[in-house]
């Protein structure tokens, strides 16, 4: 499983990192720090939860 964030759609609301800070990282301006990254084993529920919190629907959980 991996996360893909459409950086052009991210508006720096930070809801992903607020709810799942161990998985989602923000840059100094509050935008997603990484566009694509793997989900560590055991954090699948956190990945889905963080993605569901994005008001712009910019985060996609990709099943490998």
Instruction: Note the pTM of the prediction, 2 decimals.
Output: 0.92
Residue 49 is predicted with a pLDDT of 98
Per-residue confidence at 3, pLDDT binned at 50, 70, 90? very high
pLDDT digits (tens, 9 = 90+) for 9-63: 999 999 999 999 999 999 999 999 999 999 999 999 999 999 999 999 999 999 9
pLDDT of residue 64: 84
User: In order of start, what are the domains of the chain with their CATH numbers?
Assistant: 2-62 (3.30.70.20)
Beta carbons within 10 angstroms of residue 60's beta carbon: 13
């Amino acid at each position: 499983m991996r996360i893909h964030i459409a950086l052009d759609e991210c508006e720096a609301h930070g809801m992903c990192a607020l709810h799942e800070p161990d998985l989602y990282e923000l840059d100094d301006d509050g935008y997603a720090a990484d566009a694509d990254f793997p989900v560590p084993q055991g954090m699948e529920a956190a990945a889905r939860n963080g993605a569901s919190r994005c008001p712009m629907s910019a985060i996609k959980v990709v099943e490998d």
